[in-house]
Structure 1
Amino acid sequence: MAKKKAAAKKAVTLTSVYDDVARKADTAGLHINVAETKRVLATFFDVLEDLSTADAADIVAKGLKQAKGRRR
């Protein structure tokens, strides 16, 4: 019997992240499209860029910790 090839893992892109965020944020109570998502996340990255590397990493780490606590 032939072995199945493992599916090649698709590289994560910034656009795919924007699309995923827009999909998850677009709910019955909140309508947000990809363009709005990109604008908000781009602004977030602008704010991070103004911080020191250590502070930016700290903010991202805190956000990930909060996200883990919200996990569905």
Structure 2
Amino acid sequence: CPEVINWQEEQEGACLVITAIPGVPAADLSGADLLKAWPSMGQQLGAVHSLSVDQCPFERRLSRMFGRA
């Protein structure tokens, strides 16, 4: 699984920085190769979403975010 490196928030938005996921940029693939890559891309995205929130160093609970709004 990828690891969280950093979380940045600015007026324009937020950015989650994680360790690299093996592979090539989707923009570099042909249409046919991109279709073949979708299952792997889904698995990698699933790995990102499987990261334990208990180990996340950033406090993003909804109650806290409403308090900041």
Query: Which interval holds the TM-score relative to the shorter structure?
Result: 0.3 to 0.5
Bigger Cα Rg: 1
Query: RCO higher in 1 or 2 (8 Å CA, sep ≥ 6)?
Result: 2
What's the TM-score once normalised by structure 1's chain length?
Answer: 0.32
**TM-score of the pair, normalised by structure 2:** 0.33
Structure ranking higher in helix proportion: 1
